[in-house]
Structure 1
């Protein structure tokens, strides 16, 4: 009798251990094996997009400026379109123009879109995309100024100019040639205001920039005089040697131009002209 009772208790103990083991295995399986029980949430297999930091001068309409808390303009819209076409992301970092090229060379920026004229001097320290816009400098005076028509009229005059620009270099050459004085400023609005206030006689600025300013602000009290002084082309600047990013920008620029998006961007800010 005792032997029979012992046998029954042993069987019950074995069944209990077996049931506990089965329960533990079931919990483990349902928690880690998506093929048994509720499926685990699927993880995204898409790789994170590459992100690049681009500098810009946000006081340079129509190429870059701030509106309703956002950065917009030809350069910004173009850069966004290129990034979308090539599948990368951008972060815009606004700064004074004079700090943009040093920012690229010091690797604080991956590149810049800021109405940057392509010059041999700049090509020594940064790489450029294919040209995307022909600008060219113009003489700009107060609307009531009738004494300055061309560079020869700059003798004894005062030129307001933005630091670090091709306009500054051109102004320095004109000042040396015709005996003019130069005043330097950090941004275009400040140099324009200096001319309007009568503290400078003339400034030099890229034609589309000042043309846009006069068109959108009838009270600008400025006018363009004479022919364009040169035919500079704008390019997107990239840290020297970054062939991967440069290729993405050039490939994206071509796609944007071929799709008609480029013309759409230009028309938004400058009408039908290119």
Structure 2
């Protein structure tokens, strides 16, 4: 009987020990389920690649977090975070006070200007007067949609919203909208494509509006996940300090993407 009890006790202790070293669940990194080069896009094999993917991979490696890229529809990405379908948003999401009512953000990890593009054969700029009477395409649930409505809504013929940036760009190329507003880097990638360079060019950068565009892009995190936020911030700080951030960025850009005060999504 004593032998049986000893065996049972040993098994119980082993079970408790095993529970103590149980592997933590992976951190699900939410990205928008659409091509958004050069930040995040699926390659031919379905693997997600791009600057933002390399960046978040480096942050996770620095903090020894097991992270898994999890594509989510852009217009549902904040609900996916709050309902714990994902744990972090790394999808070029601008830090804004409006979004902070629902979620928290890491420190800024990049910041680029907002641009207007349009047909090559038309000459206009990026002011409300320039865009008077024009149909402007923007992606739904972005700071660009908010900005366009605020600054161009009174003069533009229409602010037309699309589920993806690619759809807005396609309609511009097809002549169904007169201009598109979005992040300058993302629009630059479109203008370098065969379709983009054949039809369109840069019209200018919009005037700053910190309240709408925010101070930069950050990782979205649930308000209660303070420990995870601290780890993400520590990872960002570390790769900025050890040169990894610059090493990743040089593969994609010939300028400092960390930037100043203007914005992305």
What range describes the TM-score normalised by the shorter chain of this pair? 0.7 to 0.9
RMSD: 2.1
Deviations 1:123-170 (A, max 9, x none): 111111100111221111122222455332222211111110000111
CA contact (8 A) 1:150 1:225 kept: no
Deviations 1:170-205 (A, max 9, x none): 111134321430221111111001111111001111
In structure 2, do the counterparts of structure 1 residues 272 and 157 end up closer, same or farther at CA, with 3 Å as the change threshold? closer
CA contact (8 A) 2:28 2:67 kept: yes
CA contact (8 A) 2:30 2:90 kept: yes
Moved more, 66-75 or 164-173: 66-75
Does residue 235 (structure 1) correspond to residue 210 (structure 2)? The answer is: no
Give the gaps of 5 or more residues in structure 2.
Answer: 1-9, 11-17, 258-265
1:248 corresponds in structure 2 to 231
1:78 corresponds in structure 2 to 55
Give the gaps of 5 or more residues in structure 1.
Answer: 1-31, 33-42
Offset of residue 64 of structure 1: 0.9
Question: How far, CA to CA, are the matches of 1:146 and 1:179 in structure 2?
Answer: 16
Identify which of structures 1 and 2 has the higher relative contact order when contacts are C-alpha pairs closer than 8 Å and 6+ apart.
Answer: 2
2:154 corresponds in structure 1 to 177
CA contact (8 A) 1:105 1:239 kept: yes
Deviations 1:82-101 (A, max 9, x none): 11111111121212211111
Question: How far, CA to CA, are the matches of 1:59 and 1:84 in structure 2?
Answer: 24
Does residue 224 (structure 1) correspond to residue 202 (structure 2)? The answer is: yes
Does residue 204 (structure 1) correspond to residue 174 (structure 2)? The answer is: no
Offset of residue 273 of structure 1: 3.7
Does residue 263 (structure 1) correspond to residue 240 (structure 2)? The answer is: no
Does residue 54 (structure 1) correspond to residue 33 (structure 2)? The answer is: no
Give secondary structure in 2 for the equivalent of 1:178: coil
Offset of residue 65 of structure 1: 0.8
How many residue pairs get matched?
231
What TM-score do you get using the length of structure 1 for normalisation?
0.78
Deviations 1:6-61 (A, max 9, x none): xxxxxxxxxxxxxxxxxxxxxxxxxx9xxxxxxxxxx9x97635411121114211
Question: How far, CA to CA, are the matches of 1:255 and 1:118 in structure 2?
Answer: 21
Question: How far, CA to CA, are the matches of 2:255 and 2:132 in structure 1?
Answer: 37
Does residue 103 (structure 1) correspond to residue 103 (structure 2)? The answer is: no
Question: How far, CA to CA, are the matches of 1:149 and 1:178 in structure 2?
Answer: 12
CA contact (8 A) 2:106 2:232 kept: yes
CA contact (8 A) 2:125 2:203 kept: yes
1:102-141 paired onto structure 2 within 5 Å: 102-141=79-118
Question: How far, CA to CA, are the matches of 1:81 and 1:180 in structure 2?
Answer: 44
Question: How far, CA to CA, are the matches of 2:237 and 2:143 in structure 1?
Answer: 26
In structure 2, do the counterparts of structure 1 residues 80 and 181 end up closer, same or farther at CA, with 3 Å as the change threshold? same
Question: How far, CA to CA, are the matches of 2:116 and 2:128 in structure 1?
Answer: 8
**Structure number with bigger Rg:** 1
2:4 corresponds in structure 1 to none
Moved more, 184-193 or 103-112: 103-112
Moved more, 187-196 or 145-154: 145-154
